[in-house]
Amino acid sequence: MARPEILQIAPMLPVVTDQIAKLFTVHRLWEVADKEAWLAENGPRIRGVAAGGHSPINETLLGKLPALEIVAAFGVGYDQIDAKWAGSNGIVVTNTPDVLTDEVADLTIGLLISTVRRIPAAERHLRDGKWPSGAFPLTSSLRDRKIGILGLGRIGKAIAKRLQAFGLPISYYGRHKQDGVEYPYVADPVELARQVDVLISVIPGGKATEKTIGAAVFEALGPDGIFLNVGRGTVVDEAALIEALKSNKIQAAGLDVYADEPNVPEELIAQENTVLLPHVASGTVHTRNAMGQLVVDNLVSWFDGRGAVTPVAETAEVAARAKGGKA
């Protein structure tokens, strides 16, 4: 029996490519010169897609793959995939949750301390030979701060658990109040910002959350406020954030994600009251290999007829209804 044909959108880790090459017939789209012509000829045979974390997969592409059953995405965020369209057309989309939760939560704590205590600036002070001429200025502290978490999903809860060790009060905002959660719930991002002085965003991307965090939030957070974003850059109005940093409406920001990655606004880079990372929260060998293995596991489980391992919410009904294709 012919092996299922898989379309690989972009280069991926060897843990993915080596395994799927042995199990499926794999086509590497990024190596094709005339993609439109190739898709017109070969698209009807494609039953699965293996997609990197930033590979855009929209209705236009999906519509050229009439036999498509599953899109296995590398990453917990999947706002680059039109999952709603996929679900309404019988296609399952999977992501790679849980395996990166601890890594992202760990880095968030490091980013918080780095931002509050200005660790990168202090290191530059030493490396630039400035210490003999004077001590590095005193910084603010985590003491007596109140934490607000925007988005209390798996990662948000892991961050909150770590912050409990610091003895800091925690409250959260989400689409709804969660049962069994001990932290106070605040139904509005602006009101949450008003009640805290550290605001951590773990909100997922997509049109529904675009620019959720804007000028009103930063105004409410106040001049002693610290803002962190480890979720998606699109949830922040970057122009409003830059203005808040320049005018000292907030004290500082620590960011790992941006609206137009890998392009970061020069005005943001120029702000001294920032700690900026190049989207590395899950960027360890251990975690990325685990994410890659979950991509493979989803494809294998689906075509073995056992269903998707980690279907996203928009396609969960499709996953439940159909137990997968036959290899």
- Predicted model pTM: 0.88
- Position 326 scores a pLDDT of 42
- CB neighbour list of residue 289: distance below 8 Å, 6 or more residues apart: 13, 15
Helix H or strand E encompassing 42: helix 35-42
Q: Which of 32-41, 52-61, 167-176, 271-280 has the lowest mean pLDDT?
A: 52-61
Q: Given pLDDT bands bounded at 50, 70 and 90, which one contains residue 323?
A: low
232 catalytic residue (yes or no)? yes
Q: Active site residue: 27, 118, 232, 288, which one?
A: 232
Q: What is the mean pLDDT of residues 183-197?
A: 98
Q: Given pLDDT bands bounded at 50, 70 and 90, which one contains residue 223?
A: very high
Phi first, then psi: what are they for 311, rounded to 5°? -70, 145
Question: Which of 161, 172, 19, 154 is CA-nearest to residue 100?
Answer: 154
- Position 61 scores a pLDDT of 97
Mean model confidence pLDDT for the chain = 95
261 catalytic residue (yes or no)? yes
- Position 56 scores a pLDDT of 87
Q: What is the mean pLDDT of residues 64-76?
A: 96
In sequence order, the β-bridge partners of residue 172 are 149, 185
Query: Looking at per-residue confidence, does 187 or 207 come out higher?
Result: 187
Residue-wise pLDDT for 242-282, tens only, equals 999 999 999 999 999 999 999 999 999 999 999 999 999 99
Which one is the CATH code of 101-276: 3.30.1240.10, 3.90.1280.10, 3.40.50.720, 3.40.190.10? 3.40.50.720
- Position 324 scores a pLDDT of 44
Residue 327 has pLDDT above 60, yes or no: no
Residue-wise pLDDT for 292-321, tens only, equals 999 999 999 999 999 999 999 999 999 988
- Position 53 scores a pLDDT of 65
Residue-wise pLDDT for 147-181, tens only, equals 999 999 999 999 999 999 999 999 999 999 999 99
The answer to whether the bond into 262 is cis (omega within 30° of 0) is: yes
Straight-line distance from the first to the last Cα atom of the chain, in angstroms, rounded to the nearest whole number = 8
- From-to residues of CATH 3.40.50.720 in the chain: 5-96+286-321, 101-276
Q: Which two tokens stand for residue 303?
A: 């075509």
Q: Active site residue: 54, 125, 154, 279, which one?
A: 279
Which one is the CATH code of 5-96+286-321: 3.40.1390.40, 3.40.50.620, 3.40.50.720, 1.20.210.10? 3.40.50.720
